[in-house]
Each structure stands twice: as C-alpha cells, then as structure tokens.
Amino acid sequence: MAFLAELKRRRVGKVAIAYGAVAWAVTEASSVVLPALRLPEWTVTFVVVFLLVGFPVAMVLAWIFDVGPGGIERTESPAGTSASDRIRARAAYGAVVLALMAGLAYLLYERGYGRAHAGEGHNSIAVLPFTNLSGDDSRDYFSDGMTEELLNLLARVPGLEVASRTSSFAYKGRNVDVRQVAQELGVETVLEGSVRQAGDQVRITAQLIDADTGFHLWSETYDRRMADIFQVQDEIAAAIVDKLRIELAPREQQLAMRDQAPTQNVEAYELYLQGRAVWKRRGEENLRRSIELYQRALGLDPGFARAHAALASAYVVLPGYTREEGDEERLMPLAEQAARQALSIDPKIGEAHAVLAQMNAERGDLLDAESGFFFAISLEPNEPTPHHWYSLLLGRVGRVEESLAQARRAQELDPTSPIIAANLAGMYLMHGDDEQALRYNRLAEDLGFGKKQFGIDAAVALRRGQWDDAKRLIAAQEELPEALRPVIARYVDAVADPGLRPQVVAEMRRIDPKVIPQHKLIKPYVELGAVDVAYEVMFDALAEDPTVWAKHWDADFAWGPEGVAMRRDPRFGELAERMGFVDYWKQYGYPDGCRAGTDSPVVCG
C-alpha cells in the first residue's frame, strides 16, 4: 500500500495515462497521414519506435520531478525512508514501467501501426484458367485465351507479382480449394472465373479471392456482346488493381490497360485464337490449317497486327514439317513479308521481331539473330515464342545452360504448347538429363504434338544400352527414309559392339546421297567413333555450300554427351570458325568448357 501511495504522491499515473493517450493519437494520425503523403513505410515504424522509447524516459522524469506552483521541482522521498526502502521502491517502479511499456507497445501496434497495414494492398496473384461453360470443349481456346490475356495485362503492372502460366494452368480442370492453390503458389490472392458463350453474347464471371480468409475481395458478372470482349478484359484487370489496393502513379495505371484492342473484329479474334491453338501442335497439317485460319482472320481485319505476326510464325516453321522440294525458298519470303507487315502496323510486337531473328538463325547469321532475339524478348518478355526460338540458337552455339534456361522460361510462359514441351525435352537431352527429357517428351505427346518424338526415346535407349528398344524407336521415326530402315539394326549393333563399327561405317558411306546426304549422317558417324569420317564429311559439305550447316546439320549434337570426342578434336576450332561460331563467341562469350586457343580458334575440354 505504501508503494501505491508513493505512486499517487508522485502523480506518475496521470503522466502514464496522458502519455499513452497522446502516443496512441499520434500513431493513429501518422498511420493515415504518412502513407497518404507517399512517405516510405519505415516512417510509420519510426514514429512507433520513437514513442515507445520516449515512454520510459517520461516515466523516469515523472518519478524524479513534479510540476508545482513554483515550476518544476525535484520530488524527494518521504522523511524517514531508509535507503533499502528507496531501492525497493525504485525496483518496483521499474517493473511497473516495463509492464506499462509492454502494454503501450501492444496498443500502438494493434491499434495504430496495425491499422496502417490492416488495409494494405496485396501484391501477388494467381490467375486460374477460366472455365469454359459453353458446353463445347472445342471452345476451350476462347476461355484459355481469356486467361492468357488477363495474365499478360496483370504482368505489366509494376509491383504486382503474377504466378506463371505453368503454375496457373497446372490447375486446369482440377477442383482445388483456392486457399490450397494460394499456399502452393505462394500468392495472396487468386482470380478465378468462367466464360459462357452463346452466339454473339458472352457471359464472363470473375472472382477475386483473399487467400488468407477465403472470402471474396471482389466479384463481377459481365453480360456483353462478343464485340466488347477486349473492354471486359481491361475492366477486369483495372478492377483487380483497384481491389488489391496497389498504389500506382497515373502513368503506371495505364499499364494494366491496352492502348487499343488488337482488333475491332471479334470473328477475326476468334479465328486468331483457333489458329494459335492449332499452331502449337505443329505437324504439317496443323500448320497449314493455322495458316488458313490466320488468313481468314486477316481477310476480316487486314490491320490485325498480331494475326500477321502469327502468320509469319507459321510460315517460318512450316519447312521443318514438309518434304516438298524448294519449300523453304518459297515460304521464307512469305514469312518475312508477314512479319514486316505486322511491324508496319505495330513495331512493338516481339513475335514479329522473333520471326526475323529466327530467319537470320536459319541462314547462319548468328550475330544478327542474337540481337534480334534480345530485342524481341525486351519488347515482350512474357511472349513464349521468342524464348523458345532463342533457346534453339543458344543450343546451336553451345551455350547449354542458357539454352535450357530459355527453354524452361518458354514452357513456364506457355505450359499448354506441345512444341515448347518438345523443345524443352530436347534441351534436357543435350544437357544429359534423360529423365527430364523423357518427362517433357511424354508431355509434348499428351498435349497433342503433331510429330512423334521417337528420336528422344531412341537417344535415351542408346545411352542406356537398351538395344532392342533403340532399334524399334529409330525405325519408328516418321522422317526416316524407307531405304535406311534395313540399316538400323546393324547400326545399333555396331554402337553396342565396337568390332562391327568399321564395316557399318563403310556401309553408311556407300548410301546413295539421293536417299540421304552424307552430312545428315554426322551424328551416327560420331556415335560409332568415326570422328575422322565425320570431319571429312563436314569439311567437304562446307566446301560445297558454306551455309549447309545452318540448313541441315544438327549442330546441337556437338554439345551433348555423345559429342565430347567431336568438340575435343583439334579440328573443331577450324570447323567452328568456318561456321561463324568463333565470331559469335568473341562477342557473346565462349561455351562452358571452351576457351580461345593459342594455336586454334577454340579449345574445348
């Protein structure tokens, strides 16, 4: 009781109450005013910490001093108080101050500082594939296109982290709780929705869900005409930015909205989406069908820049799937014409720049191809095709790790593309990761790849010594000439038994070039240990046509596990120089394990 009387005499309780009230009011005000002034978040933290540190100082001063009629006076202990009593009182007072300080800290954080963060914005989102409720599975391209457009729009917003296409589309067709999705993807919010199309009418439902609570932050249903589809996409993206309370400058707010719709003709847009879906599956029939769809779209809207770019992409890859003589000479000008037409309408379309870069790569113009892909990706970093084709260039010149990274990025951006999955399988094969190569090879087939990838299965079977499987898989390859099929068994036997190799190599050297040119047998020669024969064939082919390697050689082979003997050979430097690789390496860096030599343009370990 004596201690409580002493607290009352020194009037420290009034000081504590007054300090707490003022501190709470200051914190409340700062939590509102400082963010509104766009001051850094740490300024609110500084105010809270400053007030907490000031509390024990105020309480010590309240114990020592008092304000009386004569001003500030020192408060003396009562007469007759022993030294031990004074020490115990000060210790008890210190404990009380610490307890009050803890209470004040809780008050300021929960009621003041916590308020500043209770309504703070979310900065991460996953966009789940919109459900097609039209009753026609063949219209999935439209709901998937809706999802991808929203992903692209939201990915442009500064400060907003958007889960990748790979992550989002992994949940397509799965009934999973959104809180589980958010936890697995590490996001704070999830957007889900549905599309129902009937004739010229479309109903789009979108729901933005808070992952912590599972409650809706926002939901909306749009009943519109198909002609308004782009406006709806922009409205949804803008509403999400608003509901997530992302603070953006006026110029940044426009990033979540397009400058203009890609086309004003909705039928052209639907044909374009159908063409993209077919184009992804590759195969000659699919590619020709995609070209037809793009041409129909352009017939409805000649100013549809993205359709021109997509048409260019179809033309540029078609020669790899046809067997017509002179198809490359006929199709490449069409690809270039379509790409330049797209750029004349919209110079910022990365896919069109990528087509021109891919044409340079196929002509062997490595430096121009490199700069072209870099520019295409800088324009549209979330467009998968430039990453895909750039990975091919990087693999060709031996930048294996970077090639794999670009192939992964392309697959992350478009996990529904069979050709991108197939390319990633090839990059893993070159990297020596057979399990991943087989995994993505299966994925490409499951996604509807139009060309059976027996080559990867066969390569893995050869590596593993599964000779019967290798024979069957090599013989099953569609592009294998009929005249070569009888040779397959002897070739695989020779890989298994070095004693048979000289005889099989001699037999391969006698193959009629009309059946298959010798320069297309370089890889088998190296696998059979006939490195001298391989170099003789390559140098003879280069002497006849210096660009033959770019058109017909599987240059990636040199960088895989089977190509070790080839790239360690002293002649490899001369070969690389004649192919233009050395000039490229001097500017962009040598491959892993290779360096500039003193007596040779390049030395690979």
Residue whose C-alpha is closest to residue 540's, from 506, 513, 570, 559: 513
Q: Where does a domain end: 118, 135, 152? A: 118
Highest averaged pLDDT of the listed ranges 13-27, 120-134, 510-524: 510-524
Helices 454-463 and 434-446, interaxial angle, to 10°?
160
User: Residue 387: what pLDDT?
Assistant: 94
Name the residue with tokens 């299966």: 442
> Mean pLDDT score of the chain, rounded to an integer?
81
Query: Phi, psi at residue 77, to the nearest 5°?
Result: -70, 150
User: Residue 283: what pLDDT?
Assistant: 82
User: Higher confidence at residue 289 or residue 413?
Assistant: 289
Same structural domain, 200 and 225:
yes
pLDDT by residue (tens digit) across 451-494? 555 688 989 999 999 999 998 888 887 777 777 777 888 999 99
Distance spanning both ends of the chain, measured CA to CA: 87
CA 455, distance to chain mean position in Å, is: 27
User: Residue 170: what pLDDT?
Assistant: 72
Same structural domain, 152 and 222:
yes
Please state, in angstroms and rounded to a whole number, the distance separating the CA atoms of residues 50 and 53. Answer: 5
- Which stretch of 27-36, 90-99, 275-284 has the lowest confidence by average pLDDT? 27-36
Please state, in angstroms and rounded to a whole number, the distance separating the CA atoms of residues 183 and 180. Answer: 5
User: Residue 439: what pLDDT?
Assistant: 93
Contact 187, 240 (CB under 8 A): no
User: Residue 115: what pLDDT?
Assistant: 45
Same structural domain, 74 and 132:
no
The answer, yes or no, to whether residue 75 has pLDDT greater than 80, is: no
294 in any annotated domain:
no
What is the dihedral angle through the alpha carbons of 569, 573, 577, 579, rounded to the nearest 10 degrees?
A: 20
Contact 43, 30 (CB under 8 A): yes
Concatenating the DSSP letter of every residue in 392-435 gives: HHHHHTT-HHHHHHHHHHHHHH-TT-HHHHHHHHHHHHHHT-HH
Contact 427, 436 (CB under 8 A): no
Q: What is the mean pLDDT of residues 148-163?
A: 76
What's the angle, vertex CA 554, arms to CA 552 and CA 558, rounded to 5? 140
Query: Phi, psi at residue 216, to the nearest 5°?
Result: -75, 130
- Which stretch of 10-14, 20-24, 128-132 has the lowest confidence by average pLDDT? 10-14
Q: pLDDT-based confidence at 42, cuts 50/70/90?
A: low
The structure's pTM equals: 0.68
584 in any annotated domain:
yes
Contact 387, 379 (CB under 8 A): no
Q: 3-state SS of 53-103?
A: HHHHHHHHHHHHEEEECCEEEECCCCCCCCHHHHHHHHHHHHHHHHHHHHH
The answer, yes or no, to whether residue 175 has pLDDT greater than 80, is: no
- Alpha carbons within 13 A on the beta-carbon side of 582: 16
Listed in sequence order, the residues at least 6 apart from 458 whose beta carbon sits closer than 8 Å to its beta carbon are 469, 470, 473, 474, 477
Please state, in angstroms and rounded to a whole number, the distance separating the CA atoms of residues 237 and 151. Answer: 9
Contact 287, 317 (CB under 8 A): yes
Bridge-based pairing state of the strands 594-595 and 189-198: unpaired
The answer, yes or no, to whether residue 116 has pLDDT greater than 50, is: no
Q: Where does a domain end: 92, 118, 144? A: 118
pLDDT by residue (tens digit) across 496-520? 999 999 999 999 999 888 888 888 8
Percent of the chain with pLDDT over 70: 83
The answer, yes or no, to whether residue 359 has pLDDT greater than 80, is: yes
- Domain CATH for 135: 3.40.50.10070
Contact 580, 587 (CB under 8 A): no
Q: Where does a domain end: 62, 90, 118? A: 118
Tokens of 564: 């070790």
Q: pLDDT-based confidence at 15, cuts 50/70/90?
A: confident
60 in any annotated domain:
yes
User: Residue 113: what pLDDT?
Assistant: 47
The answer, yes or no, to whether residue 138 has pLDDT greater than 90, is: no
Contact 210, 189 (CB under 8 A): yes
- Among left, alpha and beta (phi > 0; psi -120 to 50; other), residue 177 is beta
Highest averaged pLDDT of the listed ranges 62-66, 148-152, 230-234, 532-536: 532-536
6 in any annotated domain:
yes
Contact 442, 420 (CB under 8 A): no
Same structural domain, 153 and 208:
yes
Q: pLDDT-based confidence at 145, cuts 50/70/90?
A: confident
Same structural domain, 170 and 216:
yes
Same structural domain, 132 and 255:
yes
Same structural domain, 251 and 149:
yes
Helix-then-strand count for the chain, H and E: 30, 10
DSSP state letter for 110: I
User: Residue 460: what pLDDT?
Assistant: 92
Concatenating the DSSP letter of every residue in 321-341 gives: G---TTHHHHHHHHHHHHHHH
Please state, in angstroms and rounded to a whole number, the distance separating the CA atoms of residues 422 and 428. Answer: 10
Q: pLDDT-based confidence at 76, cuts 50/70/90?
A: low
Q: pLDDT-based confidence at 532, cuts 50/70/90?
A: very high
55 in any annotated domain:
yes
Q: What is the mean pLDDT of residues 190-206?
A: 82
Residue whose C-alpha is closest to residue 123's, from 163, 159, 72, 174: 159
Please state, in angstroms and rounded to a whole number, the distance separating the CA atoms of residues 537 and 525. Answer: 10
User: Higher confidence at residue 278 or residue 238?
Assistant: 278
Bridge-based pairing state of the strands 65-68 and 71-74: antiparallel
Same structural domain, 66 and 177:
no
Task: Kindly give the residue spans of alpha helices, DSSP state H, lying in 108-177.
Answer: 114-118, 140-155, 165-169
Range of the domain at 13: 2-118
Please state, in angstroms and rounded to a whole number, the distance separating the CA atoms of residues 478 and 482. Answer: 10
446 in any annotated domain:
no
Same structural domain, 216 and 90:
no
Contact 600, 384 (CB under 8 A): no
Same structural domain, 532 and 599:
yes
593 in any annotated domain:
yes
Same structural domain, 14 and 104:
yes
User: Residue 245: what pLDDT?
Assistant: 53
Highest averaged pLDDT of the listed ranges 154-163, 183-192, 455-464: 455-464
140 in any annotated domain:
yes
Same structural domain, 84 and 138:
no
User: Residue 258: what pLDDT?
Assistant: 54
Q: What is the mean pLDDT of residues 436-453?
A: 80
Q: 3-state SS of 348-387?
A: CCHHHHHHHHHHHHHHCCHHHHHHHHHHHHHHCCCCHHHH
Provide the residue type at 303 as one letter.
G
Domain count, the chain: 3
